[in-house]
Structure 1
């Protein structure tokens, strides 16, 4: 195979590898990060202390309790104050983790099953804690607060089929896209006539892919917050989005840093080799060597 053909084939393989890299990182994050319940709960745990998230939880839980309470105005301030006070206790963090685990398990079960039903999360553990606190504070009628049916709908049945198809694709793409990208990069470097240049191109493409991934995360955040119907929930949604995509942002910066470092290393080694060859004295021509006359 000629050098020109080898370089052309190498360029195509490296370009495909760099194109697949950000999509592979995104698919792997969704398949192995978001789909793991333990990692999801660990990621969401610090948000229990975020003021914006606590305000949204307070409004949601308070509204759910008041919806079930057959009492009007006099009860509402006590309930909201109790929920707000409870959101600052260690018990709330425990309830927050339990609620997120229940939410994640409910969504995964719905995605892996074939049933058509509304995916809901039960807020009864949080409501039970609020009821107990109201009772301890001797709030009138606190004992009449029902907690067994305080549920919030997460996914409607009409969205499940589309989400199931996307989830199945992610499970396959999360493994095969990164593997394919790595295999194409290695093959492209191996068939190149100048492997140092091929490695430099791969490194620069990796840095470009990392930059594209970081840009996609930033654009996704902007679009996600812009689509929220209630602007008051945007700070909480932004905090949740940032927590869930923290791994993606780290990967994007890592890809950009590693790619630029490798490219710089290849350039420096090439310059050093060029300088060494320039300083090396030229080999003497045997035809111009003086002949020794033997006596």
Structure 2
């Protein structure tokens, strides 16, 4: 091969190398963007899928509504008003006045009978409210609420997809809380207490509107799509993230970039949930639902979604920190030296006291990268298999992983073998 041919070959090889590097950068960038955009949707999809498919999870979601004081007070007020409105106190006092006039009672006595309307209605309202409040705040009410939701798990399907029917229902432009079971229970208690008019509470009044919107149909269509993707969308995000890390020219930097990006998107999702909460509370003015009740219902219903978002954010932060600690940064090197020095000192102290690990310790010392990788992979697998992990469970798994790594470092240093030292070789041509 002539010099010109070799020069042309080298030129083509370098051009191909540059082109290949650009392709890798482009592929990694596209994968990262897809990962970042789909990550929030994946979190919402997992929440929707768990609420629809897991009865226990759904019951855990809605059960606290029955014991929330602001909700109990609102339900008590609504039911009390509906019962009292069905009792015509004015007609009763008028009948008493007519009877007194017919019997020849003095005018002052007749007028006094007419004045009984207000006190009688107030006394009736107080008595009915006391009975209704006892029912709504009783353990039996909470049990009935939980049991009805468990038996009619289609409630969440009704809210998110507009199909089925149960305690929480979706109308054409609203989401309503169905109090049918509760009203029937209260009616029976009131009838037993002598308030026969309670049996006339109309069925049409057994709902409280929680949310109104003219975009409910569009929202339900989006939620149905997320429900279908609930299983595969998170898997797709994980695959895209893994491909982005694998295709990146520097795997550690790609991992750190992926973690930071996902963490930022989780913060964006939390901000979006906060904005949605305010929009919901602003819409409450059209439903006459007290602000504190509306806020409590919203926070209870979405608490698992917020918890999952925070959990993913914590995992992203931990992953980014781990990727940084494996890098060449000054701070990362100092932390690694400090950790190695601490475990090494502890292991050598054990060896001096006769607690040598021998061949097992030397094996651990020779395969530190493998053992470290296995322990970290085990922690990641534990989180993947954990049913609905929380920030607390992430902290627990992280603590266990760090503890195991520390113990392995101590056992490796306790082998009784002198620590390995790096030898510096002189540059070629400089001599020994």
TM-score strictly above 0.5: yes
CA 1:147–1:103: 2 relative to 1, 3 Å = farther
TM-score, scaled to structure 1: 0.78
CA, structure 1 residues 268+179, in 2 after alignment: closer, same or farther (shift >3 Å)?
Answer: same
How many angstroms apart in 2 are the aligned matches of 1:22 and 1:194?
26
Match of 1:97 among 143, 146, 164: 146
Q: 2:299 aligns with which of 242, 247, 270?
A: 242
Structure 1 contact 128–147 (Cα < 8 Å) conserved: no
Equivalent residue number for residue 258 of structure 1: 315
Q: Over the residues paired in the alignment, what is the CA RMSD in angstroms?
A: 3.6
Moved more, 171-180 or 100-109: 100-109
1:25: Cα distance to partner?
0.6
Instruction: Report what 1:23 is aligned to.
Output: 41
Question: What runs of 5+ residues in structure 1 fail to find an aligned partner?
Answer: 291-295
Task: Identify which of 256, 266, 276 aligns with 1:200.
Answer: 256
**Native 8 Å contact 2:82 2:201 kept in 1:** no
Change (3 A) 1:172 1:186: same
Aligned residue for 1:92, secondary structure, equals helix
Q: Which is higher, the Rg of structure 1 or of structure 2?
A: 2
Cα shift at 1:31 = 3.0
Number of equivalenced pairs: 282
For 2:226, which of 170, 193, 201 is the aligned residue?
170
Counterpart CA distance in 2 for 1:247 and 1:144 is: 38
For CA contacts below 8 A with separation 6 or more, give which structure has more relative contact order.
Answer: 1
CA distance in 2, matches of 1:122, 1:285: 83
Residue 236 (structure 2) aligned to one of 180, 183, 187: 180
Q: In structure 2, what is the equivalent of residue 287 of structure 1?
A: 429
Which structure 2 residue ranges, 5 or more long, are not aligned?
1-16, 91-120, 165-169, 335-420
1:293 aligned residue: none
SS at match of 2:207: strand
- TM-score scaled to structure 2, two decimals? 0.56
Which of 22, 45, 52 is equivalent to 2:70? 52
Counterpart contact for 2:51–2:58, Cα < 8 Å: yes
Residue 83 of structure 1, CA deviation:
1.0
d(CA) in 1 for partners of 2:171, 2:44: 29
Report the Cα distance in structure 1 between the residues aligned to 2:76 and 2:163, rounded to whole angstroms. Answer: 31
